[in-house]
Structure 1
Amino acid sequence: MISHSHHHPRHRAALTMLFYLVLLLWPVWYGCSRPDEGYSRWDVVGGNFSGNKYSSLTQIDTTNVDQLRVAWQYHAGDTDTAAHSQIQCNPIIVDGVLYGTSPKLTLFAVDAATGQERWRYTPFDTIAGDKTGHFILNNNRGVTYWSDGQHDRRIFYTVGPFLQAVDATTGKRIMSFGRDGQVDLHTGLGEAFQELFITHTSAPSIYKDLILTGTRVSEAMDAAPGHIRAFDVRTGELKWIFHTIPQPGEPGHETWDNPDAYTLTGGANNWMGMTIDHARGIAYVPTGSASMDFYGGKRTGSNLYADCLLALDANTGRRLWHFQYIHHNTWDWDPSSSPVLVTVTHGGKKIDAVVQTTKTGFVFLFNRETGEPLFDIVETPVDTVTQLEGEKLWPTQPIPQKPAPFIRQTFTENDINPFLPPAEQQAIREKLSKLHTGRMFMPQSKDGTIIFPGLDGGGEWGGPAVDPTTGVLYVNANEMPWVLHMLDAEKTEAVENYGAAGQRLYRQHCMACHGTNRRGSGNYPSLLEVSKKYTPQTLVEFVNTGRRMMPGFQHLSTEEKNAIAVYVLNLKERQEQPYEKQLSPAEAFRKLPYNISGYNKFVTSEGLPAIAPPWGTLTAIDLNTGEHVWKKVLGEDEEMKAWGATVTGTENYGGPVVTQGGLLFIGATKDGKLRAFHKRTGTLLWEASLPAPGFATPATYEVNGKQYVVIACGGGKLGTKSGDLYVAFALP
């Protein structure tokens, strides 16, 4: 036996160089050079670093999928039925351990073969302040794993405004990260934005020893900017920042007519997650709308880098290329999911590409390195005649010529739901005749405009799956129109009382979600019974901190929040007290001439869809040719089946998973089922009823030679019951 001390110095030097070369190349090998192993794992949200939700596992296939049975169930705990709690998490599985989150953001680790709990981490105990969880209950769509390859193993996820680091082995905070184990996502945004609402719903992304993150911010004029940042994965130190709203001297600043827009306007944020090409060191980062979503009179111009796909150097944050999906967006049509890395055949050549599905039903496909579109995109003239003071709409929008849209894009009289009673159809026809409709990119109006595809339309945050062996993309979609009216904002009187001020502030900040009569709208709850749950003090705290879909309103003064409480709680004894508010220059800028009528779907008085089915679809598209392969209805609406509609589909949230075994798994639907389709034909092969709807993306993985499919069953959306279960299926 030869001791190491007897090695020749040159041999030791060579071994040392080899060791450091392995360390240098490890991220590349780990992420990109092990396709079979990588595609058989699910250690990243979306399955792998390509984000394609593809698995090379074949134990469950088209011949035996109908034999699937429940293998285990895990109660994540803390369901909040009154608040319609949800679980949107796509869990990850690392070394036989599944990591996920509960409705109230408890992080947990369970044995992926049995569902037996290993540890739980409760963030309420680690953040100073209200322990009820009001201000930390953002929705969570996944967590992130990082390891140094030895003993340092970490889980990262966002709780309220904090990016937290938790030991993957013990479930304890890693106190050396940031400040006491967390980084405030206000870091680097600037002093003016420190009190504004900020969180993140998507999992952050790892590149080498960096953790890259976007944010979720308000969608009104009080939005923080959505700058992209990278932090040191060990220390939490800010390493770089990319300004999505460019500052003076930066490219893109000229696309905002107001040169001070970067100090006053927010949004342009990456709320949907990003995808990193580890071999090239490129982060592909989609961004959402600039604020506010539906009126752009305070932000005229094309508004780079809102509504873009950004290709950033993952090491430095330097912009390599970008493409803007919508210029000066006033429809809330953000790119709604992280993009997917694919390799396609075009012109007889293999091309590494990046693909993005959208709320509009368009699919965009680009060369990863150059940003060149692989199918033609035509700048197409659109309607710019507006009723709104100060608005300046962009004259063209980019329309991809292939693939064809995967959903309907217009709603006219010919699309009225034929299964409704004649009187209801006539009521819809009369309402439709008074609204602006019939084509995409119609300006917002005081008369009312049909938003179709809807605000939750087309491809949603679950994103598509792509089979890398065929280049076929699978995307589920919603087809539901919404109606939006722009309302003249009330003028602030020099002298008001609390009742009048509260009503005005409610209409300005709350009416869009909770309706003109406080009865709720869309997916947002009624406030008519809120006095049974809140006191004036606790309601003010709630308005300040926010919860789930509702952002916190830290920018409002205490007096403004008190006035809202007086109105919402109907505190008659305080309504006549005098109220006086002086606006700062920034507040005056952010005060808009219009409010929106609310997030309202176009439905009947009974809540039935105004548009003909299908309301949920699943489409397969060949990215090599741009042609559709098949399209199926997704989900069943039992209520409409009673009216004679046999094939309906339902609205759906959460994405699909595709496997080498020939299957496509998807939950997502309002009817609370997990389904398996034949990926080549779209034939339904199996379905199972879940304990609550699975508004999340499934995961599939292998432990000890056995393949499992697991999904979070949190319900809560679309009027469904809330749940707290993760359910795993396997063959007997």
Structure 2
Amino acid sequence: MKAIILKKAKKQRGLLTYGMILCIPLLLGNGSCSEKQDIYSNWGIYKADGESTSYSPLDQINKENVSKLALAWVFEPNDTIAGARPQNSESNPIIIEDVLYTTSARGRLFAVDAGTGGLKWSFDPFNGERGGGIKRGVTYWEDGLDKRILFTGGDKLFAIDASTGMPIPEFGNAGKVDLNEGMRGDPDKISVIPTSPGIIFEDLLILGTEVSELYGAEPGHIRAYNVRTGELTWTFHTIPLPGEVGYESWPKDAWKYAGGANSWGGFSLDASRGVVYFSTGSPAYDYYGADRKGMNLFGNSVVAVNARTGAYIWHFQTVHHDLWDYDLPAPPNLITVEHEGRKIDAVAQTSKVGFIYLLDRETGKPLFPIEERPVPPSDIPGEEAWPTQPFPLKPAPYARQYLDESDLAHYSPESRDSLIQVFRSLRYEGIFTPPSVKGTLQFPGSRGGSSWGGAAFDASTGLLYVRSNDSPEIMRMKKVEPENAITNLSVFKQGESIYSTYCVSCHGRDKNGDEQGNPSLVGLKGRISEGDVLTKIKQGGGKMPSFSSVINDKAKEEAILAYLFENKSIGSPQQEKSLLDEINNNQNASIETQAVEGLNRYLNLTAYGYFRDSKGRPGIKPPWSLLHAINLNTGEYAWSVPLGNKPELQEGIQETGDTGSAGPTVTAGGLVFIAGTRDNKFRAFDKDTGEKHWEIDLPGFANANPSSYMVDGKQYIVLSVGGNSKNTAGSVMAFSLPD
């Protein structure tokens, strides 16, 4: 059977993109693939296909037999550094013929036998160094016998021989390209690190990036590299240059100093039209924009560009002049819907605020009405919040967008009283209430709606499957100015001041972190080197942005390390620049930035700070996460069910839901698979009703999207799973039906 499948697959491969083997019955609209058919569909690209549907046409595993689904094999990379804490991987594995390609939490690339989990080869982009950083997958390209894996390690792009695991010598510099080159800043002083894989069009790899979210961040250029040579072929400027579309939506010289507006969630491709689609995050700084007055295109936008040239085609902006870190976190789903009596190729974009923006794929025009509504003004001097924001009328929001005192949790009278007291002390006028010095309740929070896991789409039913997170946050702004200077302090105290300004909101005043992925920084000495800590601070990784614009000289490096490693006696007091100067004197400092250096600077001291009671419990009533099925033909909901559970907070039989970032996969077998909850379970739901058919306990937190594929006539569901105390590197786990 295997020989027949591979032989026919190879005949088809030359006609299809990415080396994927597509299901002929599905394309013809007369059924789904099964193990009895000799052409099968494998998961050859991030999120399944160029349209980012996260859909598998395989139906061997289905509603009737999923209860028998069992562990088939486990692959453990075993590549963490001694003393490391348990690691999380967000990798969505791809499968080419019978080989699975994935990255570990540390960022190493692995090729694994997709039928057994046996290692074929591995490649370490960090040459034995600690490595790390989020990697959500890799990209495959082939031309005849030339087969390559394109992936990033740190700020380098690598081309690796898919058969041997060796770098391709003719690509870039001995197999790698420096992604810092071609940006605005000095390549030796910046660090541009993509988190999601690029997408292939012809001989081009189209790639986004992760940049700092602080003042002085790099702009979020979209770039296309020649897959054969590594040469940079085109660049799309998300912060437009003079003469480019959108330039007038910024201050005149913003292109010289403004940053962010990057695409970090991945891409979608309409190969027949030759158009690539992407969505962008907020401009930097995320919470205060006095130096970027205007709508700020192409921040927070769905954008379509010519995949061959990078030329602008259309855009739709979902948030004007973002002050809430409301990034568009996932690639658009390219879909076809029945709308007003005709079929329309469309784009469906998920969001952190819980709106789905359904747009015509050719024009970017909304299919359902979207209203511009007035929103609250800013009360911070110098800030000019945009007076209106777009509100789609259909579908209804898939996450809660408003709360009042009746929505506050009631664990005990004392807990509720404290929550009410905090709630009443904050500024809150509904969604899009701007940050304030007083403190603002942000709802949805910056981790609300859905995240990088995005949505899955089933073309046979028109249903879109997406998780929602209801997670309010507190934003408390502070002006940073010369009178806050750290003068005549010991090196340790200077480090403490830097930590209190930039780090405390995530890692806590006691440095103990929290269970939401912000690790404890207590006891660093002996388990990690100062050099590795400094690299992490400067490069960022995971949820943590780069702080290279803050820790930008030897004095600051020495200070923050002294505090983190508790070296209280190091050095002698030294004159320190003001915090304002720290921000302004960043890697982009030049004569062009002098025009904005006189402006006020504000920082959100509680960024990503949850609204909780004194015992760390969610400040609002459950459910805190739901899985939804939304009919995009009609804009109506088919069903919604709680996703995940916190048993210790559960009342009655209804599960509480549990917030997370990973997204779903839907299959022709009638199932929706999803993990990404802190109860460490992997679940399968009925795609028609939302009934839960299967769940299994995992050894760690599986913060990744599942993949599905078939090898040797057997369908597998595969998932990256985080580490635990015994296996800190985590694993890749594959499930199948028993023989």
TM-score of the superposed pair, with normalisation by structure 1: 0.90
Match in the other structure for 2:3: none
Q: Distance in 2 between matches of 1:698 and 1:550?
A: 24
Q: Distance in 2 between matches of 1:453 and 1:388?
A: 21
Give per-residue Cα distances to partners, 1:603-622, cap 9 Å, x unaligned.
Answer: 12222111100111100000
2:348 equivalent to 1:355: yes
Say which is worse superposed, 67-76 or 281-290, in terms of deviation. 67-76
Question: For 2:266, which of 263, 273, 277 is the aligned residue?
Answer: 273
Match in the other structure for 2:129: 132
Cα deviation, residue 530, structure 1 = 3.1
Match in the other structure for 2:207: 213
Amino acid at match of 1:633: P
Match in the other structure for 1:658: 666
Q: Distance in 1 between matches of 2:329 and 2:347?
A: 15
Note closer, same or farther for the CA distance 1:440–1:179 as it changes in structure 2 (3 Å cut).
same
Q: Distance in 2 between matches of 1:509 and 1:314?
A: 38
2:57 equivalent to 1:56: yes
Q: Distance in 2 between matches of 1:262 and 1:192?
A: 15
Q: Distance in 2 between matches of 1:39 and 1:619?
A: 29
2:117 equivalent to 1:115: yes
Match in the other structure for 1:179: 173
2:474 equivalent to 1:473: no
Question: For 1:621, which of 619, 630, 633 is the aligned residue?
Answer: 630
Note closer, same or farther for the CA distance 1:192–1:389 as it changes in structure 2 (3 Å cut).
farther
Match in the other structure for 1:102: 104
Question: For 2:404, which of 412, 417, 427 is the aligned residue?
Answer: 412
Say which is worse superposed, 273-282 or 590-599, in terms of deviation. 590-599
Cα deviation, residue 194, structure 1 = 5.0
Note closer, same or farther for the CA distance 1:340–1:674 as it changes in structure 2 (3 Å cut).
same
How does 1:192-203 map onto structure 2 within 5 Å? 192=186, 194-203=188-197
Cα deviation, residue 347, structure 1 = 1.1
Contact 1:144 1:157 in 2 (8 A): yes
Q: Distance in 2 between matches of 1:431 and 1:524?
A: 23
Contact 2:314 2:363 in 1 (8 A): yes
Task: Give the SS at the match of 1:681.
Answer: coil
Give per-residue Cα distances to partners, 1:637-668, cap 9 Å, x unaligned.
Answer: 12213x66742011122111111111111111
Match in the other structure for 1:424: 415
2:672 equivalent to 1:671: no
Say which is worse superposed, 513-522 or 229-238, in terms of deviation. 513-522
Say which is worse superposed, 408-417 or 226-235, in terms of deviation. 408-417
Note closer, same or farther for the CA distance 1:535–1:730 as it changes in structure 2 (3 Å cut).
closer
Q: Distance in 1 between matches of 2:737 and 2:612?
A: 42
Q: Percent identity?
A: 41
Q: Distance in 2 between matches of 1:383 and 1:630?
A: 33
Cα deviation, residue 490, structure 1 = 5.0
Amino acid at match of 1:132: E
2:243 equivalent to 1:249: yes
How does 1:73-472 map onto structure 2 within 5 Å? 73-79=74-80, 82-125=84-127, 131-133=128-130, 136-148=131-143, 150-192=144-186, 194-257=188-251, 259-384=252-377, 386-418=378-410, 420-472=411-463
Q: Distance in 2 between matches of 1:508 and 1:494?
A: 12
Amino acid at match of 2:721: C
Cα deviation, residue 229, structure 1 = 0.5
Match in the other structure for 1:13: none
Give per-residue Cα distances to partners, 1:551-587, cap 9 Å, x unaligned.
Answer: 4444411222112223333433246422244955658
Q: How many residues align?
A: 697
Task: Give the SS at the match of 2:126.
Answer: helix
Amino acid at match of 2:209: T
Contact 1:536 1:566 in 2 (8 A): no
Note closer, same or farther for the CA distance 1:23–1:659 as it changes in structure 2 (3 Å cut).
closer
Question: For 1:561, which of 557, 563, 577 is the aligned residue?
Answer: 557
Cα deviation, residue 438, structure 1 = 4.7
Q: Distance in 1 between matches of 2:660 and 2:303?
A: 27
Q: Distance in 2 between matches of 1:626 and 1:656?
A: 19
Cα deviation, residue 24, structure 1 = 10
Give per-residue Cα distances to partners, 1:213-260, cap 9 Å, x unaligned.
Answer: 000011111311101000000100010001100111212111112x12
Match in the other structure for 1:731: 737
Give per-residue Cα distances to partners, 1:594-636, cap 9 Å, x unaligned.
Answer: 2222321111222211110011110000000000110000011
2:656 equivalent to 1:648: yes
Q: Distance in 1 between matches of 2:57 and 2:626?
A: 25
How does 1:513-662 map onto structure 2 within 5 Å? 513-520=506-513, 523-533=517-527, 539-555=533-549, 556-574=552-570, 576-581=572-577, 583=581, 586=590, 589=596, 593-598=601-606, 599-641=608-650, 646-662=654-670
Amino acid at match of 1:527: L
Note closer, same or farther for the CA distance 1:454–1:494 as it changes in structure 2 (3 Å cut).
closer
2:696 equivalent to 1:697: no
Contact 1:308 1:324 in 2 (8 A): yes
Match in the other structure for 1:12: none
Task: Give the SS at the match of 1:432.
Answer: helix
Gaps of 5+ in 2: 1-11, 28-32, 34-38
2:61 equivalent to 1:70: no
Q: Distance in 2 between matches of 1:485 and 1:181?
A: 46
Cα deviation, residue 542, structure 1 = 4.5
RMSD of the alignment, in Å?
A: 2.6
Contact 1:692 1:722 in 2 (8 A): no
Amino acid at match of 1:415: D
How does 1:498-513 map onto structure 2 within 5 Å? 498-499=491-492, 501-513=494-506
2:489 equivalent to 1:483: no
Q: Distance in 1 between matches of 2:92 and 2:536?
A: 28
Contact 2:159 2:167 in 1 (8 A): yes
Gaps of 5+ in 1: 1-21, 126-130
Contact 1:636 1:647 in 2 (8 A): yes
Note closer, same or farther for the CA distance 1:513–1:575 as it changes in structure 2 (3 Å cut).
farther
Q: Distance in 2 between matches of 1:645 and 1:221?
A: 47
2:714 equivalent to 1:714: no
Contact 2:262 2:280 in 1 (8 A): yes
Contact 1:28 1:279 in 2 (8 A): no
Contact 1:31 1:49 in 2 (8 A): no
Cα deviation, residue 23, structure 1 = 11
Amino acid at match of 1:671: D
Amino acid at match of 2:656: T
Q: Distance in 1 between matches of 2:624 and 2:176?
A: 41
Match in the other structure for 1:3: none
Amino acid at match of 2:730: D
